[in-house]
Amino acid sequence: MSGDFFKPGGRAAMHRVWKHILLITPLSLFVAVMGFLIFYPVPKPPAGEMEYARNAISAAVKQGAGTYSQTLYNYALNCYDSALVLWKLENNRNRYRRNYDKVTRYASLAAAKALEASRDSEANTTGMNSSVLEKINSVMKTDEEIKRRFSKYPLPTEFRHNISRGQILLSEARIAWEEGDYVKAQRKIEEAESLLTAAYEYADADLRNYFRAYPQWKTWIDTTITESRINQDYSIIVDKFSRKLVLYYSGEPLISYKAELGKNWVGDKRVRGDKATPEGMYRIAKKFLHDSTTYYKALLLDYPNEEDTAIFEGMITKGQLPRNAKIGGMIEIHGNGGKGSDWTAGCIALTDREMDSLFSKVSIGTRVTIVGSMYSLNNVLKR
């Protein structure tokens, strides 16, 4: 062949051969590459899996999973976010070198956890619905008991404020429950329960401590009724807890009047200005008509009597009262009542019409016994 090269026309023939070779090689390479591209397609992104995960998360949101199944819901969100990040990273790679396997795994996991969160949220919502409603009903009973027993019971300002705040929270809890916001309802009702229960327990303990004096009250009541029966005369018993003044005649109850008391009526009167209505056995010392009192008509009691004075001086001696304390006085049964609240400085107020009725029957010297209650605590609670 090398000899033919030097033959005439040999070099030209060889040139034509190489020319054909150079033309064929790019074509073959192109054909090979195109074949590769045909049989090795670009990896397809998991758009369907991502959409399914996104729809599952949306369904979980509607089910309230972000509130009632936070752990599972947050897990689903984290998986979905991871899938998005990985998808973006793969998209930045050469299209033939992309691998969406991890994206698919995270998308599938996000969907699975979102569905689980929906089911869990539904179960939790049903459970919270019942438990919160039960708690609301329980606290409502406590509130009703406070109103029944202690609506006019003189409690410290702090506890009155807490009761008002607790009642507001109770109302807000009921509204939240009706709107299906059980987490908010639970938070509100727990705070309401704390305030109202504490107030109730304080008031209940104070009331029970107050009624420890009932045996003494009962003795005073029996003595007063017996005296009325023996003397065939009038006597008065004031029941502070029931807010009533009962007029007896010959040992039998004749008329019952509604009474209004001193603002701090629970317990005996201690010092001047404490706005407490005293407890004990007294008598009418004076009767005042319209022109002698600012309260229509008035029956002045002989408070303080010897027993009150002895108790007062003993408390000063024991250091239970300051030495500059003054004993009270000018305790009356008077008119201008009917206000519907305890407003006096320690006196007992009736309406003017009731005052006319009482004033016409009693006289100076009529027994007036003031007690915390005419009934034992058990009877009071039953009544």
Residue 375 pLDDT exceeds 80: yes
Classify residue 32 as exposed, middle or buried by CB count within 10 Å of its CB (0-12, 13-18, 19+): exposed
Domain residue spans in the chain?
2-39, 127-211, 213-382
- Averaged pLDDT for residues 263-279: 90
pLDDT value at 167 more than 90: yes
User: Residue 40 — pLDDT band, cuts 50, 70, 90?
Assistant: low
- According to the model, what pLDDT value does residue 30 have? 54
> Over the stretch 51-84, which tens digit does the pLDDT of each residue have?
999 998 998 888 888 878 889 989 999 999 999 9
Q: What is the pLDDT of residue 33?
A: 47
CATH superfamily of this structure's domain 213-382 = L,D-transpeptidase catalytic domain-like (2.40.440.10)
Q: Is the peptide bond before 43 cis (omega within 30 degrees of 0)?
A: no
**pLDDT for residue 287:** 96
CA dihedral 341, 342, 343, 349 (to 10 degrees): 100
Does residue 95 carry a pLDDT above 90? no
Residues 69, 57: Cα–Cα separation, whole Å: 12
pLDDT of residue 369: 98
Q: Is the model's pTM score more than 0.85?
A: no
Is 80 exceeded by the pLDDT of residue 18? no
Nearest to 260 by CA among 328, 147, 347, 154: 347
pLDDT, tens only, 110-146: 889 888 888 887 777 777 788 999 999 999 999 999 9
Residue 38 pLDDT = 53
Query: Where residue 13 falls among pLDDT bands split at 50, 70, 90?
Result: low
Q: Could you tell me if 325 and 331 are in contact, meaning their C-beta atoms sit under 8 angstroms apart?
A: no
CATH 1.25.40 given to domain 127-211: no
Tell me if 146 sits within 8 A of 196, measured CB to CB: yes
- Starting from the edge strand earliest in sequence, which strands make up the sheet with 298-301, in order? 252-258, 244-249, 234-239, 367-371, 280-288, 298-301, 332-334, 348-349
Instruction: List, for residues 206-242, the tens digit of each pLDDT value.
Output: 999 999 999 999 999 999 999 999 999 999 999 999 9
DSSP, collapsed to helix, strand or coil, labels residue 318 as coil
Confidence of residue 373 (pLDDT cuts 50, 70, 90): very high
- 199 neighbors 146 (Cβ within 8 angstroms): yes
In tens, the pLDDT along 168-213 reads 999 999 999 999 888 899 999 999 999 999 999 999 999 999 999 9
